[in-house]
């Protein structure tokens, strides 16, 4: 196919048909975009556009056969909560949804693990749903954005949120969805354990087990001594605070001890579930029926209720006595085992930022967590005498520097549960001392902790979760704590109370030789960021996100390793690398990559000249982006497994390893467009890569600090190696033996950088000159690899590889796994695999993208045949453009409308109407116009304002925007990290196709009017002032001309 001449009078298309323009058209004026738009409307034609509505896609039929199945704890949801949950974007993509309740709060909010499942039963990565009132959800969304980053990498990302129209403002009928990194690289079905555990379940299991299944103490250290510590201390101050008011002593004595029935009735008005612990309240005296607690702790026969009534009589005294200077900070305000999560990689996650408050006593969170462990997670299997012994030590805490007494350890030796409790209390005591200390910390007699812990012990009496046995324990601790507070306030508590308090204080005095070290009590000493700890987390979390892709048509998430064919490369000698002085550190990194190279590009290991720098060239849809995701995932996963197998995560603080970083080069070109004065010199402090990381992950985020750290370390290694060139060989050997670290730079899509690709190559040259340790891999379409580009890559020491073609067996494997994933029958799978054997597809199925689209198009054909009750045999062989057009039509005719009608037709008629409008030819004309506009300015991404300028049909734009923002348009995707809202088609190939449809429509219209030349000049020229048809020679337009050639026919 060829479009001949830049100013000629004819052009040819397949079939040797020549379209001649009218000679009179030479004198006609130039065409503007409005005239071109009108011509495109007149010449509009898409094959099968008018087919019978009964032959809607295979997805629609499949969904009509499938019923929505809610599994697990879904029955705990109210009808309103079910409705709002089904509005979540992910809930519209799957017909099987599993929920597991995590906790229920006093406010009415509830939290669930949410696991969508494919038709074949395969679970997808879990997330967390929180149901609350609209006001609370909106508040938490803002707080999560503000405070979540303070906990580090493992903080939740809000995946979606929905509000139910017309719901009562006080009803928890709004939902937010929090995305988590569950399982092994986000693969719960391949994890050796459930993808996400709560701390509550982990600690409960450990307390009930006679043998330790998990070393919980490092996890406690990670969660509380590091993550929560820096969260809390992010706004540290020393201030005067009334602790009796802060911890609401009298209020919770009333709720938990004296007024339980009244409180239960009040809570029942909000939710029967919340009042479950109050509906038939047990009297506190029934928890100590024989008065043994009071007899032991006070030497009197006074009842617990009478004791607490007398306690409330000292309200004014306690308020006066307990106003003092304390350390304050940022408080999560709901820290319990349900809001601390542990995934199967050992990563600790913090959720639920709805209650975050500033300037709160620093022990508020830790004492609640401690209370939850003792009064909720510790069941009745414990030796209660041991528990009481621990309690007396806790309430007699003398200061904020002494470690938990080891003198009692011998008394519990041999009792696995009590020993675990001792270790847990020792660890929590250590954390609390760190929180309360610092160079400016006020004097501390242990009362702030004792008061805080007493408050939580009394609150537990009002909670519905603890059993009667646990509430009995809570009462014992509350009585002890109250007596400590009264004694410190100067109240006469009697000789029996003074005796046990003094005995336990003597135990603490004997421990004071084991005070915490100076470094542990002198305030914030540990760095928030430490490479040895953050590196495996970066590999796990960012590696997990990079390891997933999305099926273009079903919108299901698929794993690039487990659910895709591994894409390989083959050597191409198009680039002959010049000599490059390779550093020793770069050679070591290259050696560490040999295992990856062996699996993905074994030819690399046989090259005589290879510096670890690769250019991967492949046509549209050959899987270049998937390849970069696969490489990222493999590099990350292999290192994570190695780190955890070696057990070096926490102890190895050396900087060593390969840090993968995947950057779509179109993002860098957008940055250059927006900031044309940006320097192209490499600088770890501020350059193109650093700015991209900051925009993607946040300023001063863990990834930002880690990437900067790696780059600075690589600079130090280069300087060090340069210094040793003049030293002895022994010294050089020592340098060579040092750990090595560098980036594996996956720079995807040089062709999409368009006219700025040479600017990016200038930057790449500077980066490799200043930081030669890194190993770069660049991908590009062949059209962007001209002589100049190949020469520059050769000068930088790159070798070139071509994307390997799929074999028929690989293509069939993709088809088989895809169709099984979607739950198709053996008959349908066999019919599609048979169709793929046709020789007419032999060249098309070598391309992974076209293979994927072909599978869905053939699947639709089979479904149509079944509806017509004909044989499920597919005789029609389609051209590549036909496949693209039908696939795009399937994406625009996606099946969300069926789901809405199945689930709640009454409330979703508006959405159904919008989706139907977006299936129309009017909408497709809109998409064609937008695509042509974007392609004309050589862009993939557009703002909404640019979308508005691109097309005159503003009504369709409005409908499209509403559907897109609700996640109903799989052919488009939002652009991550953009400062303003931008969107693009999910693959450049779809933009090229629709641009071809728009251009071919112009040709049809102009040919009918015998005015081809001016219209051809318009859409084949970059400038309306200089109509030289220069686009005919540009690689950016090559696929468009190919599509036009297949779309135009002799008639």
Kindly report, residue by residue over 836-894, the tens digit of the pLDDT: 988 888 888 888 888 888 888 888 888 777 766 655 556 678 888 888 888 888 877 65
Q: How confident is the model at residue 260 (pLDDT cuts 50, 70, 90)?
A: low
Q: Is the pLDDT of residue 735 over 50?
A: no
Task: Output the pLDDT for position 450.
Answer: 95
Q: How is 730-754 classified by DSSP, letter by letter?
A: HHHHHHHTS--EEEEEEEE-GGGGG
Report CA 506 to chain centroid distance, whole Å: 51
Q: Is the pLDDT of residue 989 over 70?
A: yes
pLDDT computed for residue 363 by the predictor: 95
The total number of residues shown for the chain amounts to 1051
Number of neighbours of residue 142 by Cβ within 10 angstroms: 11
Report CA-CA distances (Å) from 410 to 208, 367, 416, 582, 994: 21, 26, 12, 60, 77
Mean pLDDT for 496-523 is: 73
DSSP for 864-911, please give it. Answer: HHHHTT--S-------HHHHHHHHHHHHHT-THHHHHHHHHTTT-HHH
Average pLDDT over residues 501-530: 66
Give the least confident one: 225-229, 282-286, 570-574: 570-574
SS (H, E, C) 469-491: HHHHHHHHHHHHHHHHHHHHCCC
pLDDT score at 519: 41
CA nearest neighbour of 779 among 931, 905, 947, 666:
666
User: Rounded mean pLDDT of 488-502?
Assistant: 94
Type and span of the H or E element at 72: strand 69-72
Average pLDDT taken over every residue of the chain? 80
The answer to whether residue 25 scores a pLDDT higher than 50 is: no
Structure tokens at 565: 């064919």
Cα separation, 933 vs 950, whole angstroms:
6
pLDDT tens readout for residues 348-392: 888 888 889 999 999 999 999 999 999 999 988 889 999 999 999
pLDDT at 12 over 80: no
| pLDDT (0 to 100) of residue 345 | 62
The predicted model gives 802-819 an average pLDDT of 86
The closest alpha carbon to 1013, from 14, 24, 13, belongs to 24
Q: Are strands 614-617 and 799-803 parallel, antiparallel or unpaired?
A: parallel
Query: What pLDDT score does 980 carry?
Result: 65
Q: Please calculate the CA angle 550-867-967 and round it to the nearest 5 degrees.
A: 25
* Confidence label for 54 from pLDDT (cuts 50, 70 and 90): very low
pLDDT of residue 726: 46
By DSSP bridging, strand 614-617 and strand 775-780 are parallel
* Banded model confidence at residue 654, pLDDT cuts 50, 70, 90: low
The first and second tokens of residue 405, run together, are 């007494």
Q: How far apart are alpha carbons 822 and 834 in whole angstroms? A: 18
Tell me the pLDDT band of 58, cut-offs 50, 70 and 90. Answer: very low
DSSP output for 679-735: --S--SSSSHHHHHHHHHH-TT-HHHHHHHHHHHHHHHHHHHHHHGGGS-HHHHHHH
Tens digits of residue pLDDT in 459-479 = 888 777 788 899 999 999 999
Q: Give the residue from 178, 182, 214 showing the smallest Cα distance to 195.
A: 182
| 355-387 per-residue burial string, b: 16 or more CB within 10 A, e: under 16 | bbeeebbbbbbbbbbbbbbbbbbbeeebeeebb
Given this model, what pLDDT does residue 467 score?
87
Q: Find where tokens 């004198």 sit.
A: 27
Residue 494: band (very low, low, confident or very high) from pLDDT cuts 50, 70, 90? very high
What pLDDT score does 175 carry? 94
Which residue from 832, 682, 708 is spatially nearest to 762, judged by alpha carbons?
A: 682
24 pLDDT band, cuts 50/70/90, is: very low
| 18 pLDDT above the threshold of 50 | no
Question: Quick one: which H or E segment has residue 996?
Answer: helix 988-1008
Give percent of the chain above pLDDT 90.
28
Instruction: For residues 98-125, give the mean pLDDT.
Output: 78
Q: Mean pLDDT across the stretch 936-955? A: 86
pLDDT for the residue numbered 324: 93
- Identify the pLDDT of residue 255: 59
Residue 127: the pLDDT is: 84
pTM of the model: 0.67
Other CB atoms closer than 10 Å to residue 800's CB: what's the count?
22
DSSP 972: E
pLDDT at res. 484: 95
Q: Is the Cβ–Cβ distance between 780 and 749 less than 8 Å? A: yes
pLDDT digits (tens, 9 = 90+) for 299-312: 888 888 899 999 98
Specify the range with the lowest mean pLDDT, choosing from 226-230, 735-739, 1032-1036: 735-739
Q: In which band, very low, low, confident or very high, does the pLDDT at 732 lie, cut at 50, 70 and 90? A: very low
pLDDT tens digits, residue range 1019-1031? Answer: 888 877 777 888 8
Residue with tokens 């337009």: 1037
Residue 151 has pLDDT above 80, yes or no: no
State yes or no: pLDDT of 730 exceeds 90.
no
CA 649-653-658 angle, 5° bins: 75
Residue 20 or residue 500, greater confidence: 500
């Amino acid at each position: 196919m060829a479009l001949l001449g830049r100013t000629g009078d004819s052009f040819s298309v397949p079939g040797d048909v020549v379209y001649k323009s009218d000679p009179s058209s030479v004198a006609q004026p130039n065409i503007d975009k409005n005239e071109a738009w009108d011509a495109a409307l007149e010449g509009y034609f898409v094959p099968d556009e008018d087919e019978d509505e009964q032959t809607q896609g295979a997805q629609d039929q499949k969904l009509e056969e499938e019923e929505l199945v809610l599994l697990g704890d879904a029955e705990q949801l109210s009808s309103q909560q079910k409705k709002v949950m089904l509005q979540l974007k992910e809930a519209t993509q799957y017909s099987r949804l599993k929920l597991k309740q995590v906790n229920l709060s006093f406010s009415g909010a509830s939290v669930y693990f949410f696991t969508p499942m494919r038709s074949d039963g395969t679970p997808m990565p879990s997330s967390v749903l929180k149901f609350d009132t609209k006001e609370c959800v909106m508040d938490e969304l803002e707080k999560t954005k503000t405070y979540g980053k303070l906990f580090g990498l493992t903080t939740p990302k809000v995946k979606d949120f929905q509000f139910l129209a017309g719901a009562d403002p006080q009803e928890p009928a709004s939902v937010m969805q929090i995305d988590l990194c569950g399982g092994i690289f986000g693969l719960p079905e391949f994890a050796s354990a459930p993808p996400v555990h709560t701390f509550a379940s982990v600690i409960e299991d450990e307390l009930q087990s006679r043998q330790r299944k998990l070393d919980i103490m490092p996890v406690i250290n990670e969660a509380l001594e590091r993550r929560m510590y820096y969260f809390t201390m992010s706004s540290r101050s020393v201030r005067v605070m009334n602790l009796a008011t802060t911890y609401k002593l009298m209020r919770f004595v009333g709720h938990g001890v004296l007024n339980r029935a009244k409180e239960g009735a009040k809570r029942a008005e909000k939710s029967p579930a919340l009042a479950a612990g109050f509906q038939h309240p047990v009297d506190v005296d029934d928890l100590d029926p024989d008065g043994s607690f009071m007899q032991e702790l006070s030497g009197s026969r006074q009842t617990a209720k009478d004791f607490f009534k007398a306690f409330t009589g000292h309200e004014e005294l306690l308020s006066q006595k307990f106003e003092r200077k304390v350390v304050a900070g940022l408080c999560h305000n709901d820290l319990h085992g349900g809001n601390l999560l542990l995934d199967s990689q050992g990563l600790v996650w913090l959720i639920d930022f709805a209650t975050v408050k500033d300037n709160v006593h620093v022990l508020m969170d830790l004492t609640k967590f401690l209370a939850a462990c003792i009064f909720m997670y510790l069941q009745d299997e414990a030796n209660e005498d041991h528990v009481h012994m621990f309690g007396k030590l806790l309430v007699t805490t003398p200061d904020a520097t002494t470690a938990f007494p080891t003198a009692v350890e011998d008394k519990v030796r041999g009792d696995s549960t009590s020993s675990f409790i001792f270790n847990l209390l020792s660890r929590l005591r250590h954390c609390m001392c760190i929180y309360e200390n610092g160079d400016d910390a006020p004097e501390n007699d242990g009362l702030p902790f004792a008061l805080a812990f007493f408050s939580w012990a009394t609150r537990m009496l009002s909670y519905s979760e603890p059993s009667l046995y646990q509430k009995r324990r809570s009462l014992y601790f509350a009585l002890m704590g109250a007596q400590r507070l009264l004694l410190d306030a100067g109240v006469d508590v009697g000789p029996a109370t003074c005796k046990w308090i003094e005995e336990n204080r003597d135990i603490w005095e004997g421990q004071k030789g084991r005070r915490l070290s100076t470094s542990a009590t002198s305030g914030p000493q540990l760095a928030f960021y430490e490479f040895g700890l953050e590196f495996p987390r970066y590999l796990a979390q960012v590696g997990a996100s990079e390891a997933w892709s999305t099926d273009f048509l079903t919108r299901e998430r698929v794993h690039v390793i487990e659910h895709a064919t591994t894409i390989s490369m083959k050597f191409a000698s198009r680039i002959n690398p010049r000599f490059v002085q390779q550093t020793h550190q770069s050679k070591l990194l290259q050696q560490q990559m040999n295992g990856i190279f062996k699996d993905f590009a074994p030819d690399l290991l046989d090259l005589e000249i290879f510096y670890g720098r690769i250019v991967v060239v492949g046509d549209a849809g050959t899987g270049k982006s998937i390849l970069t995701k696969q490489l990222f995932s493999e590099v990350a996963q292999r290192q994570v497994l190695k780190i955890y197998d070696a057990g070096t995560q926490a102890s190895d603080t050396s900087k060593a390893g390969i840090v993968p970083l995947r950057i779509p080069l179109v993002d860098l070109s957008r940055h250059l467009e927006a900031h044309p004065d940006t320097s192209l010199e490499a600088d770890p402090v501020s350059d193109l890569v650093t700015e991209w990381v900051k925009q993607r992950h946040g300023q001063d985020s863990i990834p930002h600090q880690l990437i900067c750290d790696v780059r600075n370390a690589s600079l130090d290694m280069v300087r060090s190696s340069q210094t040793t060139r003049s030293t002895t060989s022994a010294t050089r050997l020592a340098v060579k033996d040092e750990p090595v670290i560098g980036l594996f730079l996956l720079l995807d899509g040089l062709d999409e950088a368009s006219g700025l690709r040479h600017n990016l190559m200038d930057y790449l040259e500077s980066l490799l000159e200043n930081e030669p340790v890194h190993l770069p891999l660049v991908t590009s379409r062949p059209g962007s690899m001209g002589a100049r580009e190949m020469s520059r890559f050769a000068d930088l020491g790159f070798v070139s590889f071509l994307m390997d073609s799929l074999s028929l067996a690989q293509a069939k494997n993709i088809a088989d796994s895809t169709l099984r994933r979607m739950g198709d029958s053996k008959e349908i799978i066999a019919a599609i695999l048979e169709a793929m054997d046709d020789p007419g597809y032999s060249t098309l199925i070598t391309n992974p993208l076209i293979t994927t689209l072909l599978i869905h198009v053939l699947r639709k054909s089979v479904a149509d045949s079944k509806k017509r009750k004909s044989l499920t045999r597919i005789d029609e062989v389609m051209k590549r453009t036909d496949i693209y057009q039908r696939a795009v039509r399937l994406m625009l005719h996606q099946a969300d409308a069926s789901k809405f009608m199945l689930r709640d037709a009454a409330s979703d008629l508006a959405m159904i109407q919008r989706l139907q409008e977006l299936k129309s030819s009017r909408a497709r004309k809109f998409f064609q116009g937008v695509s042509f506009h974007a392609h004309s300015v050589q862009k993939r991404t557009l703002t909404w304002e640019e979308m508005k300028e691109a097309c005159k049909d503003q009504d369709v734009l409005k409908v499209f925007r509403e559907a897109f923002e609700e996640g109903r348009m799989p052919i488009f995707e939002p652009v991550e990290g953009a400062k303003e809202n931008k969107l693009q088609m999910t693959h450049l190939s779809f933009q090229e196709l629709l641009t071809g449809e728009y251009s071919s429509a112009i040709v049809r219209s102009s040919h009918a009017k015998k005015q081809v030349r001016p219209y051809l000049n318009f859409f084949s020229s970059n400038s309306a002032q200089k109509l030289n048809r220069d686009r005919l020679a540009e690689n950016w337009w090559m696929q468009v001309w190919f599509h036009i050639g297949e779309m135009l026919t002799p008639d």
